[in-house]
Structure formats: structure tokens, C-alpha cells
Chain A
């Protein structure tokens, strides 16, 4: 029963990883840039949630209608002023720019909010739980995070496959030059994708803050897990990212059941193993798989 419990808790934890990772997956899949500040933006979302909920005196869930559009706006501005410009200067420039942004955010947060760990008040939901059988207890908060992750990823997938916006995003991901040539406003597409990515990061940040604690440097470790979920799942596949996140979560909790000291190491070993056997990830789009093989041949 402890193993079944470990798998269930692992899947729930994996949902959180997938929620953080989906924005990274989207930016990576569409713009081919790895946003190294993605984890820090999630942490910023948690701090903004803290400020808003404590100044308004309401549980953090009530500030989401303010927080998410603000995060979307931040994504638009970042893409337009920073990432978009960097992308025009080769593949290395976005890496340096997002790394620089990551360092800046972490240091600014330390100055503005000190290094003390903080948590978000999740209201009654944070303490509630339900039982499956007699041995397995599931936290409603974890369940909510998991269901939110599934809803966000499915919603994004539906938007991508069914809407005119999604069609433009996929066309741009396939071939940005031709997309521009057939009349797609590529910069506007990139900006909305970045906005969506930052909004999902902020939402993930709220769950990070309610489930555990966060501090100004929490973004980097968050980023590593998110990045691993994206790579395991396969670049350019949101479903893959969900599966990748769950694979990480289950590995972490199941190995932790044996020996807590090896839990995080096992996650990184899983990542290395997938990278060695299937470098394009488990569910990579054909396009992404080709690119990974192509760059492998060069490097």
C-alpha cells in the first residue's frame, strides 16, 4: 500500500512540475529559446501573490484575476523588449539575456524581500484532505494543483489545435520565415506565447508558495525540474511535458520511499537516461526530433 501511495503522491507532485514546465515547453517549442529566468518568473508570481493577498487581506486564490493578466503583460513586454531582440542575434544571445534576467530577478528579490523563506495563505483548502481506502490520504491542495496542471495543459493544447491563434502559433513554430511571408505577424505571435508562458509560470508560483515555501533563490531549482520535464517529454509536445512532469514526480517520491537522500538524484539520473536513449524526448514532434538530430550531427 505504501508503494501505491508513493505512486499517487508522485503523480500529484508531477502535476506541479508539469504546470511549471508547460510555459517553458511552449517558449521552447515555438521560439526555440530556453528561458533560464522561467523559474524566477514563477517565484516573482509567488511574491506578487503574497503582496496582493496581504494588502487586500484575501486568500491568494482571489488575487488570480489580477495576477494572471499582469503576468501575461509582463511576458508581452519581456518578449518585445528583450527576448525578441536577443533572438535576432543568434542562439547564444537569448541564453545570455535570460540568464542575466534570472540573476537580476534573484538579486532584486533579495534586496526587496530579504532572503527569508515565505509561504502563501491558501485558506481552508491548504489543510483539507480526503482518503482513498484506509491508508492513502490525499491533500486537496495537491489535488487542486494536479487538476489545474491538467486543465491548463489541456486548455493550451485545445487552443493550439482548434483556434486561429493556435494555427498561427504552430505555423510559426514550423517555419517563422515562411509564417511572416504568408502574412502572420510573427512578433505578435511570439509576444502572446511569451505572455501565456509567464502567466502559467505565475500560476505555478502560487502553487509553489501555498504548498511549500519560497525564497528569492528558489527559481533556479524550480527551473531545473521544469527543464527536465520538458526534455523528458519531448520538445514541442505539451502532452509530453505532462507525462515528463509525472515521470519526475513518481521517480522522486518512489525513490524517496526507499531512501530520501537519493530522491532528487534519481530524478536527474532519469533525465540523463532519457537524454542518452531518446535525445528528442518521449513524445517529440517530428520537427523537433529532426532538429535535435541535426544539432547532434553538428556538435
Chain B
């Protein structure tokens, strides 16, 4: 497809993550290439959210490393990762309920990597929340809240956007709109790492696919190189490691 492969901007290497005595990730390695969208799939409890939180700095890795754009961020706190261009849209949106929509977005710009995403560009991308800018975030509908959560992450002007289950609990039409926006972001050059339960949608929206099973990577391949059946098998651990490339 492409000529010389560029150096991947995100390199996760051999990451172990623990919650107390419970190990959530076992030697997870992952590479995301600049300008591509990667889907991270797997069953509940496979470690998808943990992996995203580890990349964003909310969760410490016991061993292994997280490198982005040439610098080692393994021990960096979240605000330093954000200023390097990594922003996370957390699972469950996690808006600041007592703040207005606009205040939520401005808080997201606290450690912004650049001024590429001023308010007017964000409102241009999400016209549905522009009308609600003075409203408290807690009074919005689920879809609007999800849009604000993405807008808050965009305010940090990320070059790598991590999205955790943005379609959870939303009507299909709303999810379609959100993915349309993500497609626009891709065209503008953003690199995306998306956790998505809906396999069909994940495979339609992304270039690469990584499947986790019980804290381990069991499949990592470009989307055109795998069939839906192979992914489903990896997802449930039916055929042991055959799908790995």
C-alpha cells in the first residue's frame, strides 16, 4: 500500500500493569503509525481500557515502556503526555458535571500541545454542542455529552487521540454522527486509537486492528488482512494464537 514505513509515533513495549495483586496486562506491545486509525477490540475485562489509561498516564506500568514521537513517556504524568500530544476520551465520558460545556472544553485546553484547536474550530466540528455552550454539562443528552468529551480532548490539540467506548449507551444514529466526525479528524491528519465494542463499526472505521484477550495481544494486523471470523476467534480465544501476524 504505502512506500517506506514511517517510524510509529506510539510504541508500547512489553507493558505489565497491576491493580494490587491482580495483573491486568501481560507484556503488551503495540505500535500505532502516524495518520492511521487503530481499533482496539476484545471482550469485557480484556484490558482495553487499562491499556488506554496506561498510554494516557492514568495508570502506571510496572514494567515495559511507552514511547511517543521519539520520547520515553513511561514515567511521565498525564499533563506532560498531553503537552506531547496524547489525549484520552475516557470511558463513561467523565465530564465535569457542575461546569458548563464551554468550561469543560477550556479545562481540556489546560495543558494543550498547541493552539491548533481554538474554541471556534471545536464548535465548527461539533455544531450540536455550540448551541449548548453555556449549559451545565450534566444537563446534556448522552450523545451531546459524548461530543463534549471528545471536544474536551480535542481542546488539548492532540496528535494522538485515544477514544474509549464512545458509542456506549448511544443511539445508532448518534454513534454514526460521532464516527463521521472521527473520519473528518482522520482526514485532517489525526492518529486515532479506538476502543470499540461493535466489531463491524471498528473494522469499518479503522486501518489496523489489535485484539486483546485476558491482558495479552492475540491479534495485530491491518484490517484488510483479517476476516471478521478470524477476529471473532481471537476475541473469544477460540483458535489459539493462529490469527497472530
Within the complex, which residue of B78, B97, B106 is in contact with A181, where a contact is CB–CB below 8 Å? Answer: B78
In the complex with contacts A182-B107, A182-B110, A171-B96 CB distance below 8 A: yes
**Is B99 a contact of A182 with CB atoms below 8 Å?**
no
**Is A167 a contact of B103 with CB atoms below 8 Å?**
yes
Within the complex, which residue of A167, A175, A184 is in contact with B79, where a contact is CB–CB below 8 Å? Answer: A184
A100 to B79: give the CA distance in the assembly, Å: 34
A-side interface size class: 20 to 34
Contact bitstring A246-263, B, C-beta under 8 A = 1, else 0: 000000000000000000
Contact bitstring A159-188, B, C-beta under 8 A = 1, else 0: 000001001101101110111111111000
A180 to B107: give the CA distance in the assembly, Å: 11
**Is A182 a contact of B106 with CB atoms below 8 Å?**
no
Within the complex, which residue of A173, A177, A184 is in contact with B110, where a contact is CB–CB below 8 Å? Answer: A184
Q: List 13 A-B contacts (CB under 8 A).
A: A164-B110, A168-B107, A170-B98, A174-B96, A177-B58, A178-B94, A180-B77, A180-B78, A182-B153, A183-B156, A184-B79, A285-B98, A287-B97
Query: 16 new A-B pairs (CB below 8 Å) besides A171-B99, A171-B104, A174-B99?
Result: A164-B106, A168-B107, A170-B99, A174-B96, A174-B97, A178-B90, A179-B96, A181-B56, A181-B88, A182-B82, A182-B156, A183-B83, A183-B110, A184-B110, A184-B111, A287-B97
**Is A170 a contact of B79 with CB atoms below 8 Å?**
no
**Is A181 a contact of B103 with CB atoms below 8 Å?**
no
**Is A182 a contact of B108 with CB atoms below 8 Å?**
yes
Any A CB within 8 A of the CB of B152: yes
A112 to B195: give the CA distance in the assembly, Å: 62
Q: Please, which residues of chain B bring their CB within 8 A of the CB of A287?
A: 97-98
The A122-180 residues at the B interface (CB cut-off 8 A) are 164, 167-168, 170-171, 173-175, 177-180
**Is B110 a contact of A168 with CB atoms below 8 Å?**
yes
Shortest Cβ distance from residue A259 to the other chain B in the assembled complex, whole angstroms: 43
Instruction: Give the most central of B83, B98, B156: most A CB within 10 Å.
Output: B98
Q: Please, which residues of chain A bring their CB within 8 A of the CB of B156?
A: 182-183
The A34-85 residues at the B interface (CB cut-off 8 A) are none
Q: Which A residue sits closest to B138, measured CB to CB?
A: A286
Shortest Cβ distance from residue B147 to the other chain A in the assembled complex, whole angstroms: 16
A180 to B77: give the CA distance in the assembly, Å: 9
Q: Please, which residues of chain B bring their CB within 8 A of the CB of A180?
A: 58, 77-79
A183 to B80: give the CA distance in the assembly, Å: 8
Shortest Cβ distance from residue A192 to the other chain B in the assembled complex, whole angstroms: 14
A180 to B94: give the CA distance in the assembly, Å: 12
Shortest Cβ distance from residue B99 to the other chain A in the assembled complex, whole angstroms: 6
A285 to B110: give the CA distance in the assembly, Å: 24
Q: Please, which residues of chain B bring their CB within 8 A of the CB of A164?
A: 106, 110
Instruction: Give the most central of B57, B77, B79, B138: most A CB within 10 Å.
Output: B79
Shortest Cβ distance from residue B67 to the other chain A in the assembled complex, whole angstroms: 19
Q: Please, which residues of chain A bring their CB within 8 A of the CB of B94?
A: 175, 178, 181
Shortest Cβ distance from residue A226 to the other chain B in the assembled complex, whole angstroms: 24
**Is A286 a contact of B107 with CB atoms below 8 Å?**
no
**Is A181 a contact of B58 with CB atoms below 8 Å?**
yes
Q: Please, which residues of chain A bring their CB within 8 A of the CB of B97?
A: 174, 286-287
A179 to B88: give the CA distance in the assembly, Å: 12
A177 to B94: give the CA distance in the assembly, Å: 10
Q: Which B residue sits closest to A188, measured CB to CB?
A: B79
A226 to B108: give the CA distance in the assembly, Å: 35
Contact bitstring A84-121, B, C-beta under 8 A = 1, else 0: 00000000000000000000000000000000000000
The B85-124 residues at the A interface (CB cut-off 8 A) are 87-88, 90, 94, 96-99, 103-104, 106-108, 110-112
Contact bitstring B118-159, A, C-beta under 8 A = 1, else 0: 000000000000000000001000000000000011001000
A170 to B95: give the CA distance in the assembly, Å: 12
Q: Please, which residues of chain B bring their CB within 8 A of the CB of A182?
A: 78, 82, 87, 107-108, 110-111, 152-153, 156
Q: Which A residue sits closest to B53, measured CB to CB?
A: A181
Q: Please, which residues of chain A bring their CB within 8 A of the CB of B99?
A: 167, 170-171, 174
Shortest Cβ distance from residue B94 to the other chain A in the assembled complex, whole angstroms: 4
Q: Please, which residues of chain B bring their CB within 8 A of the CB of A179?
A: 96, 107
Q: Which B residue sits closest to A285, measured CB to CB?
A: B98
